[in-house]
Amino acid sequence: MPAWTNTAETDKNGKVLSSGIVALDGDGKNVKTMYTSVGTGPAELYASSDNGGWTGTHALTYSGKVTGKKGSFAFNKLYKLNIPVKSDTQLSYFVAPVAPKSDPASAVSSYVSIDLAFSDGTYLHQISRAMDRDGIRMTPSAQGQSGTLIANQWNQKIADIGKVAAGKTITRLLIAYSAPKSGVTFQGAVDDIRIGSASENAPPSSPADEVNILRGTASSPDFSRGNTVPAVAVPNSFAFWSPAIDSSSPDHLYPYSENNDLQNLPEIQSFSLSHSPNFQSGDRQSFQVMPSDFTGTPGASRLNRGLAFQRSNETAKPYDYSVTFLNGIKAEMAPASHSAILRFTFKGSTGNLIFDNLDNQGGLTLSPDQKSIQGYSDVKDSTTGNTDRLFFYASFDQPVIDASRLYGQGRGRVTAFYKFDTSINKTVTMRAAYSLISIDQAKTNLNLEIGGNMSFEQVEQNAKNAWNNVFGKVSVQGADSGQRTTLYSSLYRLFLYPNAGFENAGTDQNPDYRYADLSAHPAGKNTAEKTGAPVKEGQIYVNSNFAYSAQTVWPAYVLLEPQLAGQLINGFLQYENNGGTFPQSSSGSFADMAFSDAYIKGVPGVNPDLLYQTLLKDASSDGSGVQNRPQQNIAPFVGYTNTDQKQSINWTLSDSMNDFAFGSLASFLSKEYPGQSYPDDSAYYLSRAQNYLNIFDRGTGFFNGRTAGGQWQKNKSATDPGSWASDQADPNIWNLAFDVPQDGQGLANLYGGRNGLSNKLDQFFSTIPAAAEKYPAAREAAAGHSGMFTLDSPSSPSIPYMYTFAGVPWKTQDKVRNIMNHFYSGGSIGQGYLGDDTRAMLSGFYFFSAAGFYPLQKGTSDYALGAPYFKQMTIHLDNGHDLVINAPNVSNTNKYVQSVTFNGRPLSSASIPHQLLAGGGTLSFQMGPRPSNWGTSGNDLPKSLTPLSTDGSSIYPMALTDLTGGSASNKQADTSSSDNSSVDPMLDNQSDTAAIFLSAQPSIVTRFKTENPRVKMYTLTSSVDNQATSDPKSWSLFGSNDGSNWDLLDSRSNETFGWRSMTRSFLIQNTNAYQFYKLQITDKSGTSPLAIGEYQLLGYSGIGSSFDTMRQHLISEFESKNLSEPDTAALSYALNQAQTAYGQGKILTAVYYLQNYVQQVNSLVLGTGMQQNVQKILAADAHAVVNLLSD
């Protein structure tokens, strides 16, 4: 117990160290400092047991009320001590600031620290170099301001005080508080205060020993610190094993300390075969086993069988998990891909193994005489509904002396026990294997991977070697032990997924890889021993959740393991090619982006035709619910996903990004394989990559949902930047405001130019999130102290790097380092992330940001340069070369890039090609304490779909639109067929209908009414039903200005449509504009009537008004006296000539006069400041219109 209660410290001069702080009402009327006492601990914390300490059932609590002004303080003394400080003396403690329920993100209780009084009259808080391992000074104000003490959860603090106070003697231990503002109340708890020598653990023998698989498990639905499972596995394995603290949970097996027992100790209820569940995706195909020393028949109750343990008796590595329970039983697990070996050591004369499952969906066959058990699991994914039968088989090395099924818990089909004689041999070894094909295949998997005389230690070592082969690709200097654990634990998460979905039906020498095709129509019924799914040849991979993994995980594979990346891609392609589908997430499949990016970056061994056709099918056709993009029958034709689809904003933005990557792939392949449809496809999909423009609401300044009729969503909460509850935006509109990495300049123009983009990002990172009492995402944003930013949405990782498009890369450097410092803390106590590490996206962000570059634009070969986190990182590349990243003076102070070189050659650009890095070399960063002008000039910015010359223009970019107007007759155009067939069904912006023609060779004529547009490309969509209709096969497109004399614009022959409702695009090389366009069909694909699902003439609508906008700007600047009358007249003449030429359909002439206009603008002699900005805007508008008119 403390020596003092509610007693303020008095310094050597007799000054009481408390001012403006009193006890809360009811805690003590005469207490003139904060209230401190030992109690039961906070009543409610996230992901922790209630009413307890970090350990044990009590904690030191602190509370008080600020009656004074900001900076009021209280230093309460607690314990008398007499501890000499040595060079290795360390102070550590746990603190849980408690925020009020009405404001769970409040940090007022976090302005607290443990302080020390020394015999010389000084205090720890007075030593400026006294810092914790987060680099934060050991003062209450610094601790509170740092954001490292997150409210309503336990936080660990460690300070190596011996480095700054050696030779002093500690006489008293204090708790200190400093008020961040007046009129507030605060409370919290402190526990497990320790002063002693720093732990002298033996240095890790390999990177695998530095990994902590428990990072991210201290999570709950109310607040996520990773939401991970402690998977014991080999890289990319078929399945995992995990200790289960809550065996009944389908989505969070290991809540680090939330399910502790009455003594506040964690209890394990089983060891579970797992598929890495989390709150987004529940577990499936599970199987559980648990040791017991019960002398009779054990019960089936999970609560009764749980065994408590101390954390000091737990080892959690990727290749080995072991724990010794308080009752003396020891459990160990070592993994292979399709199997694992579990070893149980008992203390008594008998020992039991209890078999169980999440629910009763399964079956067990007990074979005690054969010392084996087998069965199947039909446990369903609680979130997605996915389920398919998994078969398992296990053998034991000891005789079974008793066996029985267990009943009474509603799981009689899956619950049983085996009892073993452990009077002499205390150890029971279980070898388990599993298969999606059959029991026999499970036995084969066991024999191939862990059979024969292979010992537990051999299986363990094999797994360790497999992980070290991965971790050995990255080494760092200048990182402390905690940072190394974070790095290698992140690489561990990266390489858990995707998972092998295939099995070896042959031998090691002659493998025969097979897989159960669970997406195909069943070949028969499932039995207790064999799947009913068709079994096919091949090596497939599953479980990637591309929306997340495409952001960081796939790019990491491309850099670190390109050969493996190619193998993984082939596995997914084979699955898709055999009738399966890429998994859909809430915001897009993103396989298009992941695979296109990988191929462009040179991943070997991928069949380009199979890759292209697979991705083309996803992008171009409507699979009627089978494919991964919703509203594929509508969205490609109107340019956005409407609000009939939830998260429509996410879908439009993700489709734009995927279309960019796929269009870039088509462009890349056109250089390797000329003469195919790649140029047409590239132009079309790169134009669709700007469909994000269709949902930018200039009235709100944000992306907004649009209804099926094209109106903006009127729901105020949907357009409120502080809302976290929009059905159309996940997590909210703020976090999607920058989700356009493929066109950073285009996005900047929406915000008024590059300065506007920088300001918008600044506003995002400084806006205080609202509604933290209701929404976990808001709580996580508040805890990150980065405005509205959260890191765990697919849109999130790119956001801090979007500053590079604004020409202020130093802001990226600042934000990313802050994220690295604050979003990955607490790993040693089950935390480690701020937000969900869904499919290792956050882990991948850590790797890339530590390296100093990031894959911002998937579909290009470039990385955006940030700043390294460590003084040196070496990446050992697949080709035998090393990429060395040097930043010798980098620190939390020296966080700004001053200059960059590669192999000694200066780099001024804020991006760097993959091919340069992948060839190996030395990337060196000179760092400094202040921002520099490195990477800030226009020529140094990352590439963008929108030319940089248009910066600040409101005219460009502009999305391509269907110029036909969406019907046979409208205010824009009239369209008719030569055979009088109704053409409305092919102009109605949805492919579910089709125009069916009376003749085999009709001509379709479109007449424009208001202006002669230039058509850049046109599209044709095949009909839904090809059994009763034929597709266009050969045709020509003509243009005319009088309807009589026709110019040939394009001609195609022997074209095919690979799928139903497939949209194909065709470029037009002619640069002229016409009033009339005629599509003449000359052949069809069969004898059935010709049908066309959709027909579009794509171009820019409203170019004429862009000239008017330019003229208004010109007049405005003249009236503001920024332009002289002669200059204005000369510019007006060039502008008028350009507009006249455009009106006559003379596009090249219009471009000529606009280029002349730009030359005159650039030659203007203006002053500084505002006048030069005028010059820039006038030129940007002209460049914008030139781009609209040009190819």
The mean-pLDDT minimum among 194-203, 426-435, 553-562, 727-736 falls in: 194-203
pLDDT value of residue 777: 92
Confidence bin at 587 (pLDDT 50/70/90): very low
Question: What is the 3-class SS of 235-298, one letter each residue?
Answer: CCCCCEEEEECCCCCCCCCCCCECCCCCCCCCEECEEEEECCCCCCCCCCCCEEEEEECCCCCC
Share of the chain above pLDDT 70, in %: 95
Among all chains, which residue has been given the structure tokens 């802050």? 818
Strand partners, 223: 220
Q: Is the pLDDT of residue 1018 over 80?
A: yes
Number of Cβ within 10 Å of residue 453's Cβ equals 5
pLDDT value of residue 27: 65
pLDDT value of residue 1167: 57
The mean-pLDDT minimum among 159-173, 433-447, 617-631 falls in: 617-631
Q: Whole-angstrom Cα distance, residue 900 to residue 889?
A: 13
Confidence bin at 101 (pLDDT 50/70/90): confident
Q: Is the pLDDT of residue 1160 over 50?
A: yes
pLDDT value of residue 284: 52
The mean-pLDDT minimum among 44-48, 147-151, 571-575 falls in: 571-575
pLDDT value of residue 1170: 55
What tokens appear for 690 in the block? 């700007």
The mean-pLDDT minimum among 302-306, 344-348, 686-690 falls in: 302-306
User: What is the length of the chain?
Assistant: 1191
What CATH class is the domain 961-1101?
mainly beta
pLDDT value of residue 774: 87
pLDDT value of residue 1168: 52
pLDDT value of residue 105: 85
CATH topology identical between 18-197 and 961-1101: yes
Bond preceding residue 636 cis, omega within 30 of 0: no
Average pLDDT over residues 248-276: 91
Q: What CATH fold (topology level) applies to the domain 231-454? A: Beta-galactosidase; Chain A, domain 5 (2.70.98)
Q: Is the pLDDT of residue 514 over 50?
A: yes
* SS3 of the chain: helix, strand, coil, percent, to 5: 30, 25, 45
Our measurement of the distance from residue 932's CA atom to the centroid of its chain's CA atoms, rounded to an integer in Å, reads 30
Among all chains, which residue has been given the structure tokens 């001012």? 19
What element of type H or E holds 456? Answer: helix 456-471
Q: Is the pLDDT of residue 998 over 60?
A: yes
Our measurement of the distance from residue 686's CA atom to the centroid of its chain's CA atoms, rounded to an integer in Å, reads 24
Q: Whole-angstrom Cα distance, residue 1016 to residue 421?
A: 81
Q: What is the pLDDT of residues 21-61, one digit of tens each?
A: 999 877 666 788 999 999 999 999 999 999 999 999 999 99
Listed in sequence order, the residues at least 6 apart from 194 whose beta carbon sits closer than 8 Å to its beta carbon are 90, 91, 92, 93
Longest dimension (CA), the chain: 107
pLDDT value of residue 754: 97
| b/e sequence 1015-1052, b meaning 16+ C-beta within 10 Å | bbbbbbbbbbebeebbbbbbbbbbbbbeeeebeebbeb
Q: Let me know the angle formed at the C-alpha of 745 by 743 and 750, rounded to the nearest 5 degrees.
A: 100
Residue 989 DSSP code:
S
pLDDT value of residue 281: 47
pLDDT value of residue 282: 45
pLDDT value of residue 385: 41
Q: Is the pLDDT of residue 384 over 50?
A: no
pLDDT value of residue 576: 75
Q: Is the pLDDT of residue 487 over 90?
A: yes
On whether the CB atoms of residues 414 and 308 are closer than 8 A, the answer is no
The mean-pLDDT minimum among 23-37, 80-94, 291-305, 478-492 falls in: 23-37
Q: Whole-angstrom Cα distance, residue 872 to residue 866?
A: 14
- The more confidently predicted of residues 459 and 105 is 459
Q: What is the pLDDT of residues 646-693, one digit of tens each?
A: 999 999 999 999 999 999 999 999 998 987 899 999 999 999 999 999
Q: Whole-angstrom Cα distance, residue 918 to residue 915?
A: 5
Confidence bin at 720 (pLDDT 50/70/90): low
Confidence bin at 625 (pLDDT 50/70/90): very low
Q: What is the pLDDT of residues 820-848, one digit of tens each?
A: 999 999 999 999 999 999 999 999 999 99
On whether the CB atoms of residues 334 and 459 are closer than 8 A, the answer is yes
Confidence bin at 1164 (pLDDT 50/70/90): confident
Q: Whole-angstrom Cα distance, residue 1037 to residue 1050?
A: 5
Average pLDDT over residues 923-933: 98
Strands (E) across 648-750 are located at 696-697, 702-703
The mean-pLDDT minimum among 411-415, 498-502, 628-632, 1069-1073 falls in: 628-632
Q: Whole-angstrom Cα distance, residue 1037 to residue 1045?
A: 13
pLDDT value of residue 103: 87
Q: Is the pLDDT of residue 521 over 50?
A: yes
Query: Three-state DSSP class for 1126?
Result: helix
Average pLDDT over residues 112-132: 97
128: exposed, middle or buried (Cβ count in 10 Å: 0-12, 13-18, 19+): exposed
On whether the CB atoms of residues 808 and 800 are closer than 8 A, the answer is no
Q: Is the pLDDT of residue 586 over 50?
A: no
pLDDT value of residue 628: 66
Q: Is the pLDDT of residue 1088 over 70?
A: yes
Q: Is the pTM of this model over 0.75?
A: yes
The mean-pLDDT minimum among 81-85, 348-352, 966-970 falls in: 966-970
Q: Whole-angstrom Cα distance, residue 73 to residue 118?
A: 20
Among all chains, which residue has been given the structure tokens 């999607």? 736
CATH number, span 18-197: 2.60.120
Q: Is the pLDDT of residue 1141 over 80?
A: yes
Q: Whole-angstrom Cα distance, residue 342 to residue 334?
A: 7
Q: What is the pLDDT of residues 745-803, one digit of tens each?
A: 999 999 999 999 999 999 999 998 888 888 999 999 999 999 999 999 999 999 999 99
Bond preceding residue 957 cis, omega within 30 of 0: yes
What tokens appear for 1132 in the block? 């007006």
Strands 350-356, 390-396: pairing kind:
unpaired
Where along the chain do its domains lie?
18-197, 231-454, 961-1101, 1104-1189
Confidence bin at 578 (pLDDT 50/70/90): confident
pLDDT value of residue 581: 62
Number of Cβ within 10 Å of residue 943's Cβ equals 16
Q: Average pLDDT over the chain, rounded to whole?
A: 93
Backbone Cα Rg of the chain? 33
pLDDT value of residue 102: 83
